Structure 1
């Protein structure tokens, strides 16, 4: 039985067809700067057909993608222009017909692979950390990635860097800083807007600071549950 895996990223697409006998073929596509989502998907389908022609028909297709995966869309996937506007599931089903297609967030898919075959295989509670164009984590409990109420558990890349007095749509996120640094191999933060200083990192939690300002002596120790 042959299977096809497609991994969409922020700057590349990786494809691999593998069969029971160990035969495998793979391709990598580079996503051009500003390349629209439809063009990326069309090139991916062309590459898929080439691989299937070389190895043979596939029984299933597994797809990983940045963003929050829903039945009819993928949200919070800004690295490829128009990716969140695609009905990715419908396009994939139309391309592969009756073949079973499974779609998952890329970091959660990687965490699941580690649970089944890798470093998290025997770990009851663990954490998968992804550092690339996108920054995210996937908590793992009893061999399964934690999805969260809306499928967005672990999307830490959208956290705000530093102390922000007024937020707007242009406020830099962790992913904009760290993702760019990781992708370029940089060893330090961009100089346009420095990270939190050692002093700001040393500030106690907000709740503790508020208690200190209330007068009298207050304990910050957690109560028993």
Structure 2
């Protein structure tokens, strides 16, 4: 059976799969990145994991994977096949595509950004499959974004398109890891909500999920924290939809798991802010944490299709 290798590399763990031509995940596996041992160890873990998947596919399906797709965090030069920068992995200018292709015996490899890969999957087979233009925004430890246009994801001139988490929504506010202040990420990410709720309730172990539960229970402190984040997110999204005019905004990540506790006030907050803009549909992501891996598989199949038509 014809198949590809798909790898989604996170800060602490990797999700991987063998994917069929229809996008079906034929085999799934997980593995820690080993980042505590340094950036070289992470690369070694990726290469070793991919080689194991190659051998498994050969044994199970009688043929070697036709291609591989790998999605990584940070700044990615997809054309050059280089992981330019990833603070949480300690990477700078890692030629991951060529390293992986060599380890796999020369099979073609597609390298992509983890959030853009997730956005590709949501656009093709998830919540955005009926939208010609969408904005995918996962709310996790940070906030990133993927811009979907006509079945593809816009990477930008330098691999940085979609970084909505670094739109300034509160000038002079909290310092962000990017070096600026008042970025959306510092106010509306799951990490930011968890930090604010921990301070408000006095429990240093409290997180965003606990805040959402407290909102549903009617806790006034939680409602204040939650609304603060929702208002910041709405400001950031209105900037995004003003620039991009998406038909659909897809919200993913841990904060989206709050369901209507997030989406009802968020839709209302965005609606209050638009003037001339057309209000998009604001919907939850459909693929959960499998999106990046599914997207990596799609990148691999797209690469094969491009080689056939070239």
Same fold by TM (over 0.5)?
yes
The structural deviation recorded for 1:152 is 1.1
1:55 aligns with 57
Structure number with larger C-alpha Rg = 1
Contact preservation (8 Å) 1:177, 1:190: no
2:129 aligns with 121
Q: Does 1:64 align with 2:71?
A: yes
2:112 aligns with 104
Q: Does 1:93 align with 2:94?
A: no
The structural deviation recorded for 1:23 is 7.7
Contact preservation (8 Å) 1:52, 1:58: yes
CA distance in 2, matches of 1:188, 1:127: 26
The structural deviation recorded for 1:2 is 2.1
Contact preservation (8 Å) 1:157, 1:174: yes
2:27 aligns with 25
2:194 aligns with 186
Question: How large is the RMSD of aligned CA atoms in angstroms?
Answer: 3.8
Q: Deviations over 1:69-88 (max 9, x none)?
A: 2215323421112x224222
Moved more, 169-178 or 29-38: 169-178
Larger relative contact order (Cα-Cα within 8 Å, sequence gap ≥ 6): 2
Contact preservation (8 Å) 1:10, 1:134: no
Which of 115, 137, 140 is equivalent to 1:132?
A: 140
Q: Does 1:40 align with 2:48?
A: no
Contact preservation (8 Å) 2:100, 2:109: yes
Contact preservation (8 Å) 2:71, 2:117: yes
Which of 79, 82, 100 is equivalent to 1:73?
A: 82
Contact preservation (8 Å) 2:120, 2:153: yes
TM-score norm. by structure 2 comes to 0.53
CA distance in 1, matches of 2:174, 2:186: 18
CA distance in 1, matches of 2:13, 2:165: 19
Structure number with the higher helix fraction is 2
Moved more, 142-151 or 23-32: 23-32
Unaligned runs of 5+ in 1: 202-220
CA distance in 2, matches of 1:166, 1:106: 26
The structural deviation recorded for 1:161 is 6.8
